[in-house]
Amino acid sequence: MQKPRFWAFLMILVLFMAALTGCSNRAKDDKKDDALLLGFSQLGSESGWRIGNTISVQDAAQAAGVRLMLENANQSQEKQLTALRSFIAYRVDVIAFSPIVQDGWDNVLREAKEAGIPVIIEDRTVVTKDESLYAVHVGSDFYSEGVMAGEYLLKKLSTLPPETVLNVVELTGTQGSSPMLLRSAGFHDTVAKEPRIRILDSVSGDFMISKGKECVRLMLEKYGSDFDVLFSHNDAMMYGALEAFGEYGVTPGKDVIVISVDGEQEAIDLLKEGKVNCVVECTPMLGEAIMQIAKDLVDGKPVEREIYSSERAFTEFDDLSQLAPRGY
Ligand code: AHR
């Protein structure tokens, strides 16, 4: 006959095993139902564009019946890495994130891959040694946006007297981010063939109104009336630049040619008022595409690896009277 001590030991063992299994299944059990669980790491709230992007993801998740775990990293790569690791620990079905800068993601992407969680890179791109570490990138073709900005300037120059020289100040976005690097490359490559277009300076305004204003004040102090063109990598910095122009008695759209990227409603209104000359579109409305891709990934359906939004430039040469409200 077994001793009572043996049965007591067995009971404790069984309870311990049950507790362990309970722990390891808790993340899954907490999901409460079968709806797809998406972990989304937003990089910050630096611009109207970014806020529009977050709203687009939230609205689309609700419409698609996708449960969303949303983390805002407030412009910190460190915080984004922490958010991604928390999604992995929670065992979400799919991860999506907009990487603040393009480098430094390989380790966390490998951890997601090892956990069997597919990753959607949205908006900005990453540079990785191993392309299999993420499933899809969905967003804008930032290089083409820079090209469109350059093409507008070439066209503008062709309308001015032949002896005209245009000195450009480039107001760039966050250092090391893909839109900053690619918009710059596209613009420079396009205007490089025209010796009458010269880049005076490139300064980073970090995609923010306040920093855009600060940078343009400095540029006006430094270059005065030699400053002919502003190429701002986003609308937010352009709004700050316009405030700085106001302080220095410079009339935007006339004394200085103003080019921006994003296409927020406010920028289009400024274009119609003649204070801005060209706005290149960059759509933040990526939510629906993300939900569809997430569902396809979970269902094991084939997905395109690179999905670009269709975009255009709005310029002073266009009839914009029929343009639909932008929605951001
Ligand atoms: O990554 C897209 C860029 O980031 C947008 O142009 C800008 O407004 C945002 O902050």
Residue 235 CA to ligand 1 centre (angstroms):
9
Q: What is the pLDDT of residue 33?
A: 65
* Distance from Cα 262 to the centre of ligand 1, integer Å: 7
pLDDT of residue 47: 97
Mutation choice for ligand 1 from 234, 235, 237, 281, CB with most ligand atoms inside 8 A: 234
Q: How many CB atoms lie within 10 A of CB 22?
A: 10
Q: Closest Cα to atom 3, ligand 1: which residue?
A: 179
User: Fold for domain 142-282?
Assistant: Rossmann fold (3.40.50)
Best CA proximity match to 69, nearest among 90, 49, 51:
90
DSSP 70-96: EEE-TT-HHHHHHHHHHHHHHT-SEEE
Ligand 1 atom nearest the C-alpha of 179 is: 1
Instruction: Name the DSSP class of 226.
Output: G
98 Cα to the center of ligand 1, angstroms = 10
| Ligand 1 pocket by Cβ (under 6 Å) | 46-47, 49-50, 123-124, 179, 207, 234, 236, 261-262, 282
Atom of ligand 1 at shortest distance to CA of 236?
Answer: 8
Q: How many angstroms separate the alpha carbon of residue 47 from the centre of ligand 1? A: 7
Give the per-residue pLDDT at 18: 43
Closest CA to 199 of 173, 229, 159: 229
Q: What is the pLDDT of residue 274?
A: 98
Residues 6 or more apart from 233 whose CB is under 8 A from it?
Answer: 170, 171, 172, 173, 179, 180, 183, 184, 205, 207, 261
Q: What is the Cα–Cα distance from 38 to 96, expressed in whole angstroms?
A: 7
Task: Output the CA 43–ligand 1 centroid distance in Å.
Answer: 10
- pLDDT one digit per residue (tens) for the chain, 328 residues: 445 555 555 454 444 444 444 434 444 444 456 899 999 999 999 999 999 999 999 999 999 999 999 999 999 999 999 999 999 999 999 999 999 999 999 999 999 999 999 999 999 999 999 999 999 999 999 999 999 999 999 999 999 999 999 999 999 999 999 999 999 999 999 999 999 999 999 999 999 999 999 999 999 999 999 999 999 999 999 999 999 999 999 999 999 999 999 999 999 999 999 999 999 999 999 999 999 999 999 999 999 999 999 999 999 999 999 999 999 9
Distances (CA, A) of 97 to 73, 78, 83, 128: 10, 13, 10, 15
Pairing of strands 313-315, 278-281: antiparallel
Task: Tell me which DSSP letter residue 223 carries.
Answer: H
Token digits of residue 26: 């808790």
CATH number belonging to domain 35-140+284-311: 3.40.50.2300
Give alpha helix (H) positions in 31-172: 48-64, 77-90, 106-114, 142-158
Domain spans, the chain: 35-140+284-311, 142-282
Distance (angstroms) between ligand 1 centre and the Cα of 136 equals 19
CB 128 within 8 A of CB 152: no
- CA geometry: angle 258, 284, 188, nearest 5 deg: 40
Pocket test for ligand 1, best of 180, 207, 211, 264 (most atoms within 8 A of CB): 207
* 221 three-state secondary structure: helix
CA distance 145 to 151: 10
Residue 109: what pLDDT? 98
Task: Report CA(85)–ligand 1 centroid distance (Å).
Answer: 24
SS3 content of the chain, % helix, strand, coil (to 5): 45, 20, 35
**What residue owns the CA closest to ligand 1's atom 6?**
234
H-assigned helices in 119-208: 142-158, 178-191
Same CATH topology for 35-140+284-311 and 142-282? yes
Q: pTM for this one? A: 0.90
